[in-house]
Structure formats: C-alpha cells, structure tokens
Amino acid sequence: MGAVLSGEHLFYIQEENSERLDGQAKFNHLWLLKEGEWKMHRVLSYDHRAPEIEMK
C-alpha cells in the first residue's frame, strides 16, 4: 500500500537576525506502508523558481 503527498514549499535564507524568502518549488513524496509503519520512499522536488508571493 502507498500514498502520495503533494504540495509546495518555500525556501528562506537565514541571516544574522532575520530571514528572507528566496524561492519556492513543488514537491511529491511517495510513502509506503511497510510492516505497519509508513516510510517515506521517494522525494521529488521540481519547478524551482523565484517566489511569487511577498512575505512580510
């Protein structure tokens, strides 16, 4: 049995006392149920780009 988790993630650059949004991408995670426990099997990160949203 398996499951797929899809979404988007944001990337930040951490500086001395602040952080700033640097990029974003989409992801897919493939999870497999093995011996009664969910295990992450594969990770795919794609469509990396400059951020489309402005965070304050």
The pLDDT, as a whole number, for residue 52 is: 83
pTM assigned to the model: 0.73
Secondary structure in 3-state letters for 2-48: EEEEEEEEEEEEEECCEEEEEEEEEEEEEEEEECCEEEEEEEEEEEE
| Tens digit of each residue's pLDDT (9 = 90 or more) over 6-53 | 999 999 999 999 999 999 999 999 999 999 999 999 999 999 999 987
Which tokens in the block code for residue 32?
């497999």
